[in-house]
Structure 1
Amino acid sequence: MELRQLEYFVAVAEEQNFTRAAERVRISQSGVSAQIRQLERELGAELFDRSGRGATLTVAGRVALEHARAALAAAGAVGQAVGEVADVIKGRLTVGMVVGCTVTPLFDALAAFHGAHPGVELTLLEDNSDRLIDGVRGGAVDLALVGTAGAVPEGLETFTIVSERLVVTVPPGHPLAGRSRVRLRDLAAYPIVCMPLGTGLRTVFDRACAALDVSPAIALQASAADAIADLAGRGIAVGVLSESMAARYRDRLTALLIDDATEPALLALAWRATHGPAVRALLGHARRAFTPV
């Protein structure tokens, strides 16, 4: 049994797909399949149910996954410990970023880190916040910039970048344009364009609506603030954004604070409490790059 086999096994389990796992570990799909088959032969049990379109863990696979992750974490800790003693940081870091984010200080932090530690291989991936948080918890992602609703993700360390309220955005001439504030029930008469499920902004909006038993008409969803603003500006739907996002479009849209959506939307860096010197070094650059709230 080799560590690379465990790495491929964990990748397939998390991606639930051999093709995506192969892209993640950067070898061919046939290579991943062959190594998994060899691991199964050594263990004497099939780890995946391959009868469907994806790769689903068998009972044996679910049992093996926890131990495989632990073995990989232990192996990584050995290298990190030696590197820390030798004052050399090497290895690989996977950094996540919520889809549609344009917060460039993260790139400044990555560039500064790369300049200081060229021996570390950096991987940047985009996804929605829920999946990134799951990735951090599971160890597939080392550090992620995510949107959350009002509270830090359970079991993770965080550094808050932005904490602000939701607003709705409308173009000139819209029936709501003459107001400065609205309530959620005021939006019931209009179609809404907002972020998709799994994003921090959408979670804040959905929670506020559920608390007041309001059922808005979510007509459109977009992952980028620019797309939401463009659709709102064309009068197709009322846009839901954060205050700082909406401020970028003040030349063509009116932003109205939602009085009864008081839970803040957070943009934060999230990482596991148990982390190595590479994550610690990147966090130092990130803290310098971002201006805390």
Structure 2
Amino acid sequence: MELRQLEHFVAVAEDCHFTRAAKRLHIAQSGLSASIRSLERELGAPLFLRSTRQVRLTPEGQALLTEARKTLSASDAAKDAVAAVRGLLRGTLAIGSLQCLHAIHVPALLAGFLRSHPGLEVSLRHGGSGHLTDLVRSGHLDIAFVGRPRHAPEEVVLVALDNEPLVLACALDHRFASCDEVKPQDLAEERFVDFTSDWGTRDLADQVLAEAGVERRVALEASDVHSLLDLVSYGLGVALVPQSFTVKTDRVRFLPLAGDVPRWQTVAVAADPVGAAAAALLREIAAVRRPTPASCCS
């Protein structure tokens, strides 16, 4: 089994089409088909279900896809490690991040990092913590900045970035707006605004309220910070959010939570083993540290 065959297999699996995959790989379709057939003979199993309309993975192909991505990722990491020893950081670095990250200012971080490593090609995508962690696990991302997962996959490593308390966000005319702090138990009758279920802050809010014996009702869901705070400002619900959100608007009242409440933790999730480019980025983070909260996603 050759790395080239695995590259061909992953391309067909992602495109679900031999012609498109061949075009992306810049090889003849006949050569791609021959490479896949050779791989199937070696493994003694069909990897794709082929028809005139579509190409789908077999169960054997599904099993191979995860391992093929890991193998290709490890191969890239080995090449990067050799290049790093020579002082040449090249190749690609795929990064994921929450939309608003208090721990680090991602644009400033990447600008400085790319100035130091101009031969590196960097890509960035936003998403929820669960989805981004899964993309690191499956080899689609090299590193992601997310909320700490409750159960981290074995295939990744976690590097702590920061932690901060949760606070209650409510409208300026809400009954809690004049309070100094709020007990989680007092939120039992409230209607909630929150992020979609893939966001780590929602998991933490669920945990905090469950420990307080509150069965909450999420009436409205948002996929970005400013939309969530807008909904809160109009009295459509309250929200539990990280303290760093307090710099984003003056149309919402933010209140501390009383008692010993779990804190919102952000981490870097990296593929295991950590590639040379991802390791260099983590060193850059350690050296730079974060800016003030007001400069984050404001």
1:26/1:184 Cα in 2 relative to 1: closer, same or farther (>3 Å)? farther
Question: Aligned partners of 1:181, 1:59: CA distance in 2, in Å?
Answer: 54
SS at match of 1:118: coil
| Shift, 1:146, TM fit | 0.6
Amino acid at match of 1:41: R
Amino acid at match of 2:105: P
- Find the aligned partners of 2:56 and 2:180 in 1 and give their Cα distance: 51
Measured in 2, the distance between the counterparts of 1:33 and 1:98 equals 39
* Distance in 1 (alpha carbons) for counterparts of 2:268 and 2:57: 30
| Alpha-carbon distance in 1 for matches of 2:26, 2:191 | 47
C-alpha distance 67-173 of structure 1, shift in aligned 2 (>3 A): closer
> Which residue of 2 is the match for residue 226 of structure 1?
226
Distance 1:33 1:222, change over 3 A: farther
SS at the partner of 1:274?
coil
The residue aligned with 1:180 is: 180
Tell me which residue corresponds to 1:252: 251
* 2:103/2:290 contact within 8 Å kept: no
* Structure 1 runs of 4+ with >6 Å offset: 29-36, 53-56
> Aligned-pair distance for 1:162?
2.9
What is aligned with 1:277? Answer: 276
SS in 2 for 1:94: strand
1:11 deviation in Å? 6.2
| Distance apart, 1:173 and its partner CA | 1.8
Separation (CA, whole Å) in 2 of partners of 1:32 and 1:286: 43
User: Counterpart of 2:278 in structure 1: which amino acid?
Assistant: V
Aligned to 1:168: 168
Give the CA deviation at 1:291: 3.4
How far, CA to CA, are the matches of 1:32 and 1:163 in structure 2? 52
**Structure 1, unpaired ranges of 5+:** none
How far off is 1:182 after superposition? 2.0
Q: Residues of 2 paired with 1:37 and 1:213: CA distance?
A: 58
Contact 2:16 2:56 (8 Å CA) reproduced: no
> Where does residue 114 of structure 1 map in the other structure?
114
Distance 2:289 2:28 in 1: 39
1:1-293 paired onto structure 2 within 5 Å: 3=3, 6-7=6-7, 9-10=9-10, 18=16, 37-42=33-38, 43-44=40-41, 45-48=45-48, 57-101=57-101, 105-148=105-148, 153=152, 155=154, 156-249=156-249, 251-259=250-258, 262-291=261-290
Deviates more, 1:30-39 or 1:227-236: 30-39
* Cα shift at 1:164: 1.6
C-alpha distance in structure 2 between counterparts of 1:227 and 1:50, whole Å: 44
How many Å separate the matches in 1 of 2:161 and 2:107? 14
CA contact (8 A) 1:166 1:258 kept: yes
Unmatched 5+ stretches in structure 2: 292-298
Scaled by the length of structure 1, the TM-score of the pair is 0.80
C-alpha distance after superposition, 1:163-183 (max 9, x if no partner): 122222112221111212223
Aligned 8 A contact 2:158 2:267 in 1 = yes
- AA at the equivalent of 1:76: D
Decide which moves more: 174-183 or 39-48: 39-48
**What root-mean-square deviation, in Å, do the aligned CA atoms of Structure 1 and Structure 2 show?**
3.6
Task: Compute the TM-score of the two structures, normalised by the length of structure 2.
Answer: 0.79
For the Cα contact (< 8 Å) 1:172–1:253, is it kept in 2?
A: yes
Size of the alignment, in residue pairs? 283
Deviation at 1:148, TM superposition (A): 2.3
Structure 1 residue 184: deviation in Å?
A: 3.0
Q: Distance in 2 between matches of 1:231 and 1:54?
A: 43
Distance in 2 of aligned mates of 1:54 and 1:172: 55
